Amino acid sequence: MRTRTDAHRAAPHDLRHHGDAEVRDDGAELTDLAVNVRTGTPPHWLRERIAASLTGLAAYPDGRAARAAVAARHGLPVERVLLTAGAAEAFVLLARALPARRPVVVHPQFTEPEAALLGAGHRVRRVLLDAGDGFRLDPAAVPEDADLVVVGNPTNPTSVLHPAGALLQLARPGRTLVVDEAFMDAVPGEPEALAGRRDAPGLVVLRSLTKTWGLAGLRIGYVLADPATVAALAAAQPLWPVSTPALAAAEACMTPAALAEAAAAARRTAAERAHLLAGLAEFDGVRAVEPAAGPFVLVRMESAAAVRERLRALGFAARRGDTFPGLGPRWLRLAVRDRATTDRFLRALGQALSAVRP
């Protein structure tokens, strides 16, 4: 497998650029393929649970029930669970609270972990996975002296699902292995999940409820780790870091009915992703990274920046790829949507490609 390790210098990538910028910059009404939040969410029953919690806003948030619900969902004691204001807060806590001296981030992936590490004064090394290998992880590419390693699974933006066994090869005493599983609940059956594992030294798993349940504006996620790590991260949090409505949402999303609903949504997403990939394969010069496992796909094409701008004019927002280390201006990320939306997008893509080609 081809990978390379880069010491971080003054990175040209805009690590703080996220998909929401693609749909709010100019006020245009666009069909959103740039943000990976599932459409049609939050569902009515979840909105009702959140609304019912508003009667308790006069009291300080009490996270005990939500924490217990998350622990039970993963078969863990509550001491191994930390509730956070989304996964983004967890990355900041990890960067500030853990004594990492040689952190490594495996790219391409969500850029917030590296941004948080840089913001906390760390010098970051990057392991850059190669498109020629389908962005697969080679554990041997990670430097032996790394004492903090961050990797996504399935990875945003590549949609690659790394084998659990490959990830576990990175775990060892004296190293914190952070696996971002923010999109794992969008994978049918979660076959490579490490959430719930207690046998890997230094393992920290991050989960988010914002994507599957449409709670990006509420900010709720959690960390699963050994009790000492959880305690260290909790000590770095401000008081009452998760709001009462977010706690109500977390508890509601851990019920058997909610988990069954999420599993059904994951199966639908897999079918809709297959339809999108089949449509993309019809275009010359457009190559998607496969196999894809997340609710999004990464595609490579010449003149991707011009295609993205043309798509905007046609009413579609796509996520640019050049802000992700390890990618460049020929890449776009596309969120998976329902079949009707995908068909409309594919027609627009055909027009955009025709317009930008000489």
Q: Are 100 and 119 in contact (CB under 8 A)?
A: no
Q: Give residue 27's pLDDT.
A: 60
What are the tokens at 330? 């020929």
CA distance 238 to 114: 22
182: Cβ contacts below 8 Å, ≥ 6 apart: 87, 110, 152, 156, 206, 207, 208, 210, 211, 221
Q: What does DSSP say about strands 316-320 and 331-335: parallel, antiparallel, or unpaired?
A: antiparallel
The H-assigned helical ranges of 163-224 are 164-168
In what helix (H) or strand (E) does residue 4 lie, and over which residues does it extend? strand 3-7
Q: Give residue 16's pLDDT.
A: 64
Q: Give residue 12's pLDDT.
A: 61
Per-residue pLDDT in tens (0 to 9) along the chain, 358 residues = 556 666 544 356 777 666 566 777 666 689 999 999 999 999 999 999 999 999 999 999 999 999 999 999 999 999 999 999 999 999 999 999 999 999 999 999 999 999 999 999 999 999 999 999 999 999 999 999 999 999 999 999 999 999 999 999 999 999 999 999 999 999 999 999 999 999 999 999 999 999 999 999 999 999 999 999 999 999 999 999 999 999 999 999 999 999 999 999 999 999 999 999 999 999 999 999 999 999 999 999 999 999 999 999 999 999 999 999 999 999 999 999 999 999 999 999 999 999 998 6
What are the tokens at 331? 């890449």
Bridge partners (DSSP) listed for residue 64: none
255: Cβ contacts below 8 Å, ≥ 6 apart: 69
| 163 phi, psi to nearest 5 deg | -60, 140
Q: Is the pTM above the cut of 0.85?
A: yes
Bridge partners (DSSP) listed for residue 299: 288, 332
Q: Give residue 192's pLDDT.
A: 98
The one-letter code for the residue type at 274 is A
Tell me the Cα Rg of the chain.
20
Which of 318, 263, 264 shows the shortest CA–CA distance to 296? 318
What are the tokens at 88? 């983004």
Which of 33, 81, 129 shows the shortest CA–CA distance to 242? 81
Which of 88, 64, 61, 115 shows the shortest CA–CA distance to 209? 88
